[in-house]
Structure 1
Amino acid sequence: MPQLMPTHSYAILSAGFRLVLLLILVVLLAYLLLSWTPIDPLNAYLGGNVFGISEPQKALLAQQLSLDQSVGQRLLHWLSGLARGDLGFSTLYQQPVSSVIATHLPLSLLLIGLSWVGSLVLGYLLGLLAGIYQDSWLDKAVQRFSWLMVCMPSFWLAMLFISLFSIALQLTPVCCAAPIGMTFSEQSVLSMLHHLLLPVATLTVVSMAPIVLHTREKVIDVLQSDYVQYSLAHGDSLLKVVRFHVIRNSLLPAIVLQFATFAELFGGSLIAETVFSFPGLGASMVKAGLASDTDLLMGCTLISALMVFSGNLIATVLSRYFIQEAGDA
């Protein structure tokens, strides 16, 4: 145990250093991109009232919003507030950025979490069946479906689901996370599931293709291995082999891959929330970008970077554990 402590300490320090470096690069790049956007922050803030105020009033408003400063000065001002735990003020929502994130982030986490579990479970089961029944009609159907999902844009699938289930069949709501006039927490559990069904289904179907294809290849490799062939030769049933060998050697790699592809799932949630008018963090990021709400967009960007980094870190830790277990075996 004493010999392992320096290795663990080095890994923690390395992860912390990479996180700090990532956040610095994300902040600098995001702020530079915002400074180059063709959207005028002042006109976006005024909206349709841009011609209703005088030039002196515009100058005073620009001073209040710190738009009269250079990009470097605004960045230093935002970083100084960040060091004090202040993410700034959202001109779009007219409230602190921390309050906006606290309101919308839980909805995004719920949507992403359900989609993450759904794509892992369904993707693994389909990949497992395709690998077991290799070259069968089921295997070919699963592969074609997976490759189709890889090529399909999430926004197109979302609009297809809305057209089919919400408009044609009238089985699900067209949009939003709750009935009109209610917040998400005020509705019943069944109503929550009803409004979450289409967004979760969209993200689940779009993001499970890598799990299906990876699990299929892993299952085939395990079934063709020497120890599985030896087990089958000694009379073990296929069900027993799948339970004690295939699932054991294919489930953990699928979980690792699912964490590693968390960035793609998060990116898909931005589009799904926008199409379904789901009031999560992704929809807030899109609105902040269109309204040139710098503070809100920077706060959402930081949270997004932390979430993606956490997913990649978990995948790295699990992959190292998997390699170590394989080496010990």
Structure 2
Amino acid sequence: MTNNTTRTRSGRAAQSALFRWFGRKFVQYTLVLLVALSINFALPRLAPGNAMNYFAGQEINLLSPEQRARLEKELGLDKSVLHQYGDFMSGAFRLDLGSSTKFGKPVTQVLKERMGWTFLLVTPALLISMLLGVVFGAYSAWNRGKRRDIGLLSLMLTLQSLPGFWIGMMFITVFAVQLGWLPSYGAVPLVHGTTGQYVLEIVKRMILPVSTITLATIGSYFLLTRSSMLDTLGQDYIFMAEAKGITKRGLIYRHALRNALLPVYTHITISLGVLVSGAVVVETVFSYPGIGRLLYESVVARDFPTMQGVFLFITVGVIAANLLADLTYPLVDPRARGAKHMEGSV
């Protein structure tokens, strides 16, 4: 009876600690989102000049005073700053981000049209760079100090130092211009054939930008995995496993790599949000119609509502990726669950 009562109390204490942890995380990320939204609201109003110039673009100089006043009323700029702030925050939570001055339709609709292309580009690049970076990083750490390690480390450091736009331009010069193997811009062909041909053309137009993002990001996964593996390979349990006669393959993948992947996993989840903003340069180089290209087009056209929408999308992506890392990391590392329980019971 006493044991059952003790287990029940322990379970309730763990559940209570878990709820408190979720509550703190919810408050923390809500505050971060509110601060990001506030900065997004303040940008056009703190910039030099009239906020109308940022929301309406260069065409504002061609409007008559009556048209200017009507547009100012439509944008809500005739209200007090506090009232504008309230309207902006309520609109953001209702996904009402205003209308694009360049495209002439709601910003949310423009984002929906471009969002899929960015995910189609970023997802395979993230998976490929993650897989290759982890495999090569583990292999390099196991062969520390050998020629294979030095060669891989030199290659990855070189790739890490190269800017993404330069890699993309080299790919266009070699594979699109000189060899003529692959298209150099866009996401879809100008002339649509059969469904199979259409899909094939989309894939062909993905190869160069996906390869560019992969080469530009693989170095970070490699270096992090290699560093974490070197630290793990120096642990006592690795020497004990090696003394028991476990094969090299088993030591790397069953013992060392599983523990070395913990910091890599955090980096991967955070990269989910960061890569969306990191694709801006690559999408611009290849004229790929994603979120990054949309940001470039809105900056050139001074389409501030769309710029605000893109910044908000990137901010929410980064916050969601960090939240995903916080929620799923205890599933990967049992020690985090114990630490969380201890934190709640203090």
Both proteins in one fold, TM over 0.5: yes
Q: Indicate the residue corresponding to 1:117 in structure 2.
A: 127
Q: Indicate the residue corresponding to 1:145 in structure 2.
A: 155
- Separation in structure 1 between the aligned mates of residue 44 and residue 197 of structure 2, nearest angstrom: 37
1:97 maps onto 2:107 in alignment: yes
Q: Indicate the residue corresponding to 2:291 in structure 1.
A: 281
Structure possessing the higher radius of gyration over alpha carbons: 2
- Separation in structure 2 between the aligned mates of residue 315 and residue 266 of structure 1, nearest angstrom: 17
Shift of 1:44: 8.3
CA distances 1:11-41 after superposition (whole Å, capped 9, x unpaired): 2222222222122111221222223446875
Percent identity reads 26
Residue 153 to residue 235, structure 1, CA distance change in 2 (3 Å) = same
Residue 116 to residue 39, structure 1, CA distance change in 2 (3 Å) = farther
Q: Indicate the residue corresponding to 2:182 in structure 1.
A: 172
Q: Indicate the residue corresponding to 1:131 in structure 2.
A: 141
SS at match of 2:12: coil
Shift of 1:54: 5.0
Residue 72 to residue 18, structure 1, CA distance change in 2 (3 Å) = same
Matches within 5 A, 1:311-322: 311-322=321-332
Residue of structure 2 aligned with 1:258, choices 250, 255, 268: 268
CA distances 1:252-277 after superposition (whole Å, capped 9, x unpaired): 43222212344442331122112211
Structure 1, unpaired ranges of 5+: none
CA distances 1:217-258 after superposition (whole Å, capped 9, x unpaired): 222233333222223233332122223212322234322221
Residue 297 to residue 134, structure 1, CA distance change in 2 (3 Å) = same
* Mean Cα deviation higher: 293-302 or 92-101: 293-302
Q: State how many pairs are aligned.
A: 326
Residue 61 to residue 260, structure 1, CA distance change in 2 (3 Å) = closer
CA distances 1:185-235 after superposition (whole Å, capped 9, x unpaired): 996332222111111111111122221011112222333332222232333
For the 8 Å contact 1:35–1:71, the answer to whether it is kept is no
Matches within 5 A, 1:123-272: 123-180=133-190, 188-272=198-282
- Separation in structure 1 between the aligned mates of residue 184 and residue 71 of structure 2, nearest angstrom: 39
For the 8 Å contact 2:98–2:107, the answer to whether it is kept is yes
- Separation in structure 2 between the aligned mates of residue 310 and residue 115 of structure 1, nearest angstrom: 19
Query: Normalising to structure 2: TM-score of the pair?
Result: 0.82
SS at match of 1:257: helix
Residue 287 to residue 10, structure 1, CA distance change in 2 (3 Å) = farther
1:308 maps onto 2:318 in alignment: yes
Residue 295 to residue 175, structure 1, CA distance change in 2 (3 Å) = same
- Separation in structure 1 between the aligned mates of residue 85 and residue 96 of structure 2, nearest angstrom: 13
Letter in 1 for 2:176: S
Residue 140 to residue 64, structure 1, CA distance change in 2 (3 Å) = same
1:12 maps onto 2:22 in alignment: yes
- Separation in structure 1 between the aligned mates of residue 90 and residue 105 of structure 2, nearest angstrom: 19
1:24 maps onto 2:43 in alignment: no
Letter in 1 for 2:154: R
Shift of 1:279: 1.0
Shift of 1:81: 3.0
Matches within 5 A, 1:289-308: 289-308=299-318
Letter in 2 for 1:172: L
Structure 2, unpaired ranges of 5+: 1-10, 339-346
Q: CA RMSD in A?
A: 3.0
SS at match of 2:13: coil
CA distances 1:114-134 after superposition (whole Å, capped 9, x unpaired): 222111101101101111211
- Separation in structure 1 between the aligned mates of residue 305 and residue 61 of structure 2, nearest angstrom: 25
For the 8 Å contact 1:256–1:318, the answer to whether it is kept is no
For the 8 Å contact 1:87–1:295, the answer to whether it is kept is yes
CA distances 1:135-160 after superposition (whole Å, capped 9, x unpaired): 12221122122222332222222222
* Mean Cα deviation higher: 230-239 or 132-141: 230-239
1:77 maps onto 2:87 in alignment: yes
Query: Normalising to structure 1: TM-score of the pair?
Result: 0.85
